[in-house]
Structure 1
């Protein structure tokens, strides 16, 4: 039988085996599952809030049955919060195919649409995430990841199954600031340029982060490490902007700005929950040993110091991830190889610092 054979260890379904339609790897090619996944578990669900939404088939869509409850709750809460007008078009759920990275690159991995665990909304409205940003926190609170993390803001995918979802309550992540980025869009190494959505979250955090994170200390930290590149320091606001520039460049090196990046398969020590890297800055739970304040922060935000819980939090809780890595860099430069070996230095930009400084004012 024709087709390329591939395997993938899916975080929700385990190891699956699939066959492509063509005899060579083709970007976005159709696939058929051979083993490890039962496509019959993708079933029809009626979402009342999509009844009058373009292309939504009157609200009758196909989605993995284990995620029906959280999908329905998400749209119920979106309607309850008066946000339903932001849902303009329905652009697909189930579609058995390879991934189509927005970079145009070839991927040999199956899209989450293949598993019926992803939904696209407002694909062609030209807003670059502007219309999905208001509803993204609702999806995120109910076990979904927003595709803005990998420059695909129309996309929401199930990150974990929520068996008995509760209505979203309490404060949600604030809407991303609307900003035109210029100097901060400069390329980093061979990673390309950071997505606007990533920069917006970075700026949003930078505006609200406690001053103490950026204040002078007596340690050999990130500020002493990049003093020759971005110094001298001109006050607290300048130091705040310098930290944002370091985080911008370092996230490019570590994960290509992927909030959901997982284990570094090239690192032979990444084999336990405490040593496996996670998130945009590829931090591991054992880094908490660098300071009691790091443990205190994680315990306060996560409620646990468990390695698996740490990994999930570094991917899902973006403000926590930013604060954690910033505080870690104030403690040591040894946890991140690109910092320790000064690989980030030639990619740090003074004009980007100036732009960040203006944006956090």
Structure 2
């Protein structure tokens, strides 16, 4: 006898994925389901649990990582994670700040560096495990020394993994792959036109381009929510130009724009080539004096751009599709408040990008 009938939203909560991802899984048949006379999808809870328990490629691999470690060790961890397929890597030094960051960003993997297991703050991991939002969090403790005799300082029922802290980043990479769902970075071949591109191209560019076409956002119709967010960016940051850009193989297309008439530009003109390479805000205070951009046609000639600030917008897998950016004809610098505003608006744009399927979207 089958179990309870549930909705797509309820399935998403069980699986720990977004409602959009659950919707795609039902539409593609990953989760057995049917439609009601009103057109709503329904499924049996048992079928959803069966998907949850499968150890294959259906469940999206974790790609967001937070590392709690001393600042002097951040470079070592960066080197190790450079070989793994992750979308976000953040570092933090203080356990209290780490707890706040965990609640705000909800990473997939949390790595804690400790010289000895006894140095971990009392009840730190237990507190994390009691937070429902973090129920799927994978915890890895990296330590040089095993715990001294006696009872272990942390309860093994908390389902953490312990790895040996190594100077050799290769060994740490293998330990992380063995003890988490993280995977080695698989570099796909770049399109031939990008092999000698006159702008920076990241190691995951082929995957990023797949994500752009998979999203269906390229050349899609205008959307009021994104138009409004672009307008808010221009008004709140005092910028004559604000754009939501999408980077394809050969062009920079504008999903939404304020203060600019053109619909797209050659990709070689795009300052956003730099923004999609990393998380956070990219600022170029004086484009005219920056050797990377001084010869750019939009800088050297009309309209004589002089300032750029942008934040990446990403899909659900963490691939940067483009950016929310502002441009000015005068050199300037965003202050802390303005930087926060741009970052928050970019997160809202990201949410809109991932809100629903578009006619051009593909499932690859």
Compute the TM-score of the two structures, normalised by the length of structure 2: 0.25
Q: Which of the pair is proportionally richer in helix?
A: 1
TM normalised by structure 1 equals 0.25
The answer to which structure has the higher strand fraction is 2
Structure whose CA Rg is larger: 2
